[in-house]
Amino acid sequence: MDYSKHGTQKKEKHIRSDIPKAKHKVSFNIFRIFIFALIAVGVMGIAAAVGGLRGVLDSAPQISVEDVIPEGYKSFIYDRDGNLLTQLYQPETNRIQKSINEIPEVLQNAFIALEDARFREHNGIDPKGIVRAFFVGITSGDFSEGASTITQQLLKINVFGGGDEDSLLLKFKRKFQEQYLALELEKTMSKDQILEAYLNTINLGASTYGVEAASQRYFGKSCSEVNASEAAVLAGIAKSPTWYDPISYPEENKERRDKTLNDMLEQGYLTQAEYDEAMADNVYERIAARAEEQSDNHRVFTYYEDAAIRQVLQDLEEKLGYTSEQAVNKLYGGGLKVYLAQDNQMQNIVDEEYRDDSNFGYNNALGLEWRCSVLEEDGSTSNYDQLTMQYWYWNNENSSFKLIYNNADEAWGDINHYKEALGITEENTLAESFYQPYAMQSSFVLMDQHTGEVKAIAGGRNEKQESLSFSRETQATRQPGSCFKILGCYLPGIDAAGMTLASSTMDAPYTTPSGYTPSNWYSGYWGLTTVRKAITQSMNVVTTKFFVEKVGPDLAIDYCRKLGITTLTDSDYVESFALGGLTYGVTNLEMTGAYAAIANGGKYVRPVFYSKVLDRDGNVLLDNTNPEGEQVIKESTAYLLTSAMRDVITQGTGGPVAYGMDYGMDIAGKTGTTTDSKDLWFVGYTPYLTAGIWLGYDQAYQMEGQLNESEHEILWGKIMGRIDSECGYEPTSFTVPDSVGTRTVCSKSGKLVGTSVCTPVTEYFDLSSLPSGYCNDHIGATICNVCGGIANENSKETSYKEYSSASQIPNYSCKCPPETESVESTNSETPPTTTPSTEPPITPPATPTTPADPTAPTPVG
């Protein structure tokens, strides 16, 4: 026996018997490592998940109660008596705030029953709802099942912008943050506060937000009046404001309404009888009728409302520091209450007169407002309108082309010819609009000079077509003509340049140092002229001379800006400024406001269209009820100008104004006519009210020869006469201030009477600017009417004439042959002088007068 062999075999056998044990041991160790690794991964995963969740929660926005209160609320415009006129809102601000006490329980319960049955019990999140939604998602693969509480929905809308995430991961992140914040929010807000915020926030279709706006839209009443059926209709909209809109999709909404009523019955919010009554209610018939009523009653803002809206926006920026965007958001989404300064009775009078075509000389020719959008071959869009058409005709076919028509066929003839020339066809026309207002237009502004309140306006002759459209009384800048002489020359001249109503200069050919040569509206020249006569007869040459030699553009423009004229530029520092030749013109509102300062004793009060603006909580945001105004000219200056402009009505170019006011009321004002009568103005005032009227074509066509050019003055007097009589204004006169007195002066030179040639007249003066010099500015002589020489014994026909200096008197005697008997001369070349008398005490007469000038032509403009 080979023991060595057996020993080897025995050893090998022993080794083989140990192999399974070793493998088992290794496998066990690997398994143990795997378990440890799995546990470690699990722990790290949990830690990571916890850390990630903590990160998600830490990144949640910091909120306060204010963050979940809706910000967008519609604003309201009321008349001066508190009657609601219209509402202002943007697509997402059609919301009216209601407290929880104003929202009936039936409406509260409808939303709770449908959206969050355990709202009163949970602390912000609903665990039962979450579990239910989770299992529905696991079993169906659809995770759209709602589990959000009313608290979460409020956060979703106001904090998370509606929750429209791009991915499922972001949606889960928002959900976690939403639940976390819901728990936190319910620690600081009561259930009623949360429910109130929610019911004022939610989108309820038809551009309505919150239950009050929706109730008024669908039912025409406040949410405080809704019944169970109507409450269920509103609650049913919340899930999808578009799909469940009861106007557009009544059948779909009815399914949600019925479910809401069932939930309310099951949860004990309705009795069986109340449920049966609600289910039988044909609420959708009422909703349809209300929708049709609203579509038929689409309301366009009035010109006055347009002006008030624009002024509120301006004041939010200028007075409160809002940006333009912030001002719009505040007015259209801040729940403001705007109270207008408009007087309804006066506005009705203005409207009635502007609807009467006979007030415009029966000038009913039609204008044109046409717009056309065209798709070009390169895919771009081009826009055309009546003005581009007018320019095309001017440049290509007819330089005198005008947008004035007798009917629509004439207008379409011009339009189609223009479209054909440009290659515009029906196929490439995207949109087109056509409207024909009256061609001759007008604007009117009426205000109380003491308070600044604009009482009534007219922005045109036609019925207004759209809200916030172009408004002629506040936005059209037109050349003011002679109306501007008062503001641009005589007001600054009397107030600060030493001029008086008696200051005089020669009406004679005149050229300024810069080469500007003004001409009068009448033929020839009238010689030595006072300021009063220059204002009364609207004299151009005299005004220019006073402006150049006494006032100057710097002083004039400074005063005009203090009087509220905002359209002036550096290009207006020219001589023609005094005659109303402005770079950009001026608006009727600003002209009327400037004249109102004269009527108000020299104190400028800004014209305002609203009395006050309240915020959503009733606090005063903007206030015009107690205007302070600014004394921009002396009280004496204001009265002197008033006195002269009173003569404009009684003796000058403004005579037609008195046709409708011949009953004892004092009137003062000034006419204005631009070149070719392209603009006709009258701005004037009584002791109570100031008004400005403009008449012309929008395209500034000439009107000379087309009307008698006094229609606007007659209409001004007609409106003001009706307002005075129908609104209770008693006839009265302008009050003479204590700072004004009188002197008797020469009617031509304005100096104290110095010779027998002078025609004395009583004139008003500021007590600090009384005249001191005596007249020696003109002398008289008797002239032979046959040969023109100085009359002598041979003169058969003679007349007495006045001259501004001795050099103007003929230097030869009458050359007529003598008669048989000598005739003794009765006049010398120089009439005897009179010794000036001592002036009597200063006592203002009731009415100063200017002697009629027999040589003056009859005013025509």
458 versus 141: the higher-pLDDT residue is 458
Residues of the chain above pLDDT 70, percent: 82
Confidence of residue 10 (pLDDT cuts 50, 70, 90): very low
Confidence of residue 568 (pLDDT cuts 50, 70, 90): very high
Q: How far is CA 37 from the centre of its chain?
A: 75
Per mean pLDDT, which range of 335-344, 425-434, 563-572, 848-857 is the poorest? 848-857
What does the pLDDT average to over 247-274?
96
| pLDDT, tens only, 576-619 | 999 999 999 999 999 999 999 999 999 999 999 999 999 999 99
Distance CA 302, CA 698 (A): 20
Per mean pLDDT, which range of 143-157, 210-224, 505-519 is the poorest? 143-157
Placement of tokens 């943007």 in the chain? 90
What does the pLDDT average to over 852-857?
34
643 versus 25: the higher-pLDDT residue is 643
CA distances for 304 relative to 62, 201, 790, angstroms: 44, 32, 67
3-state secondary structure 535-579: HHCCCHHHHHHHHHHHHCHHHHHHHHHHCCCCCCCHHHCCHHHHH
| pLDDT, tens only, 445-498 | 999 999 999 999 999 999 998 899 899 999 999 999 999 999 999 999 999 999
Top mean-pLDDT range of 144-148, 155-159, 501-505: 501-505
| pLDDT, tens only, 345-356 | 999 999 999 999
| pLDDT, tens only, 397-411 | 999 999 999 999 999
Distance CA 253, CA 656 (A): 66
787 versus 551: the higher-pLDDT residue is 551
Output the pLDDT for position 800. Answer: 77
Q: Which helix (H) or strand (E) covers residue 478, if one does? A: none
Answer for the pair 630, 559: CB distance below 8 angstroms, yes or no.
no
Output the pLDDT for position 747. Answer: 87
| Helix/strand/coil for 455 | strand
Residue 684 β-bridge partners: 669, 691
Output the pLDDT for position 58. Answer: 52
571 versus 61: the higher-pLDDT residue is 571
What's the mean pLDDT when you consider all of the chain?
85
Confidence of residue 38 (pLDDT cuts 50, 70, 90): low
Residue 683 β-bridge partners: 670, 692
| pLDDT, tens only, 100-110 | 999 999 999 99
How do beta strands 337-340 and 75-78 pair? parallel
Check pLDDT > 60 for residue 852: no
Output the pLDDT for position 123. Answer: 85
Label residues 570-584 b or e (16+ Cβ within 10 Å = b). eebeebbbbbbbbee
What does the pLDDT average to over 428-449?
96
| DSSP codes, 342-382 | --HHHHHHHHHHHH-GGGGTT---B--EEEEEEE-TTS-EE
Confidence of residue 369 (pLDDT cuts 50, 70, 90): very high
Cα three-residue angle 584-590-593, rounded to 5 degrees: 160
Per mean pLDDT, which range of 21-25, 167-171, 523-527, 713-717 is the poorest? 21-25
Output the pLDDT for position 833. Answer: 33
Structure tokens at 252: 């779909």
Q: Which helix (H) or strand (E) covers residue 589, if one does? A: helix 588-599
Q: What are phi and psi of 807, to 5 degrees?
A: -65, -20
Output the pLDDT for position 650. Answer: 93
Structure tokens at 705: 């020869």
Check pLDDT > 80 for residue 835: no
Check pLDDT > 50 for residue 853: no
Placement of tokens 């690997």 in the chain? 30
Q: How far is CA 397 from the centre of its chain?
A: 39
Confidence of residue 324 (pLDDT cuts 50, 70, 90): very high
Output the pLDDT for position 844. Answer: 35
What does the pLDDT average to over 285-304?
87
* pTM attached to this predicted model: 0.79
Any residues with CB less than 8 A from the CB of 97 and at least 6 apart, and which?
A: 73, 200, 210, 212, 335, 616
552 versus 19: the higher-pLDDT residue is 552
Output the pLDDT for position 363. Answer: 82
Comparing CA positions, the residue from 495, 533, 596 lying closest to residue 747 is 533
Check pLDDT > 90 for residue 196: yes
Per mean pLDDT, which range of 235-239, 298-302, 624-628 is the poorest? 298-302
